[in-house]
Structure 1
């Protein structure tokens, strides 16, 4: 090679992209503080919900109108929807900020100048966001389940992970967190604005489901059954509980498919937008 010939830098490996994305995420202290605090809050909500119920378990109420005896549901209380909503919102915000944060600061230009392959860049973001939020969701779900059921053991109403529906409920509670993170990532890629992305996430996760409730119109109920938090709620339902499913209940298979579809569509949207739109 001639002395005047410039050396060609080797192409970035995927592991290099993962390392670069990890540095970006780690450098923003607010991101991991939000995730850690939301996990702690979610576990505290679940534990407190069961702890508050202990006096009532000792003195169960009389049978209801159907004359069935009271039966406490550890899954409903120990993996409750409020804590799930906290984690879902935090994960969605985290996913969104990994994209709109770079566009807001202009760092995306540096990233794409160093790695022109936009598909590889967004794939690295998706992989890291999914891994982090899946780990966090699993920690919250498993800790909440085993802690709350250990508290209920003395009342002889606790459940084991081997009991019907328990493993499915714990898995769904964990998986909805990365699914919501990918939804947030997609909104961040499309909107590229902090406020707009967070408002869109809140609207989809918490406002839109209000439009698809009730049992009067089947097609509306079917749509509502396949929204992210509704699908998780159906998968977390205790087969032994007395909770009614309404006239148009979601199915177990359909709920799993819904969660997978939300994740895949979100990744596809983010990938398409980042590759086709100008910086």
Structure 2
């Protein structure tokens, strides 16, 4: 009888992809650097408000509380851009690192089911970045509110919009990582993938105005703009074409599923 090779179980593929992700030195260092940068920006912003609180007049202080600026300090737009940049790069390198080292040949020789391999990679990347992003958003919220509590301006997680801000900020991480992963599968080059992810996720929304309906719809369909809607950074003024938080959550879902599907399809149809 001819011995047969046991087919790899999907749990084995998940374990292998977990090991490969953390075997990349850039993964741990990038997450650490990203976390420190995000916390530094947000806590620094909150501390600036704390430090100069006495220099604000009474109406400015009232406006700070009325407009929930504490939520803005909890996860600022600048920190959101840093998160997208770092996580997009991590997602891209999770794929391109394997192509660059040649490990992909060994992987696909051992497991010819390319779609299963890439699906496992996508699930591992999603799980790791979702936990990282949510934990980071929660820690950032708690630290910034501790700082603001020194001026009786801190908020709790029970405050309207606070929990949504934490979840939206946390889940922006896996969305960015999956987009980077998809671009990495297409380009197979680290630098090109990172640049493409940065341009797609952060630069494109800058060229889309909300003054016209069509460009407003296209802008609202971008993940970073969806995060801004969920974080409710538009609370300070009326927009020409408003949209819903439900629509913003849908943007997250479509981009995440679309990016994962693209990565799986590209790897299945292209040569090593």
Q: TM-score range, shorter-chain basis?
A: over 0.9
Three-state SS of the structure 2 residue aligned to 1:37 is helix
State the distance in 2 between where 1:184 and 1:171 align.
Answer: 20
Per-residue deviation, 1:207 = 1.3
Question: Over residues 33-63 of structure 1, what are the superposed CA-to-partner deviations in whole Å (9 max), with x where a residue is unaligned?
Answer: 1112111211121111100111333332465
- The residue aligned with 1:159 is 155
Answer 1 or 2: which has greater helix percent: 2
Of 248, 251, 259, which aligns to 1:266? 259
State the distance in 2 between where 1:264 and 1:275 align.
Answer: 17
Per-residue deviation, 1:154 = 2.8
Contact 1:138–1:175 (CA<8 Å) still a contact in 2? yes
Contact 1:38–1:86 (CA<8 Å) still a contact in 2? yes
Q: Is 1:278 aligned to residue 271 of structure 2?
A: yes
Q: Tell which deviates more after alignment, 32-41 or 134-143.
A: 32-41
TM-score normalised over the length of structure 2: 0.93
Calculate the aligned-residue CA RMSD, in Å: 1.8
- The residue aligned with 2:4 is 8
Number of aligned residue pairs: 269
- The residue aligned with 2:242 is 249
Of 207, 211, 215, which aligns to 1:220? 215
Per-residue deviation, 1:105 = 2.3
State the distance in 2 between where 1:118 and 1:17 align.
Answer: 11
TM-score normalised over the length of structure 1: 0.91
| Ranges in structure 2 where 5+ consecutive residues have no aligned partner | none
Question: Over residues 154-198 of structure 1, what are the superposed CA-to-partner deviations in whole Å (9 max), with x where a residue is unaligned?
Answer: 322211111111111110000000000000011011111112111
State the distance in 2 between where 1:245 and 1:273 align.
Answer: 42
Question: Over residues 128-174 of structure 1, what are the superposed CA-to-partner deviations in whole Å (9 max), with x where a residue is unaligned?
Answer: 10011011101110001111112212322211111111111110000
- The residue aligned with 2:132 is 136
Contact 1:97–1:185 (CA<8 Å) still a contact in 2? yes
Q: Which runs of 4+ in 1 moved over 6 A?
A: none
State the distance in 2 between where 1:127 and 1:44 align.
Answer: 29
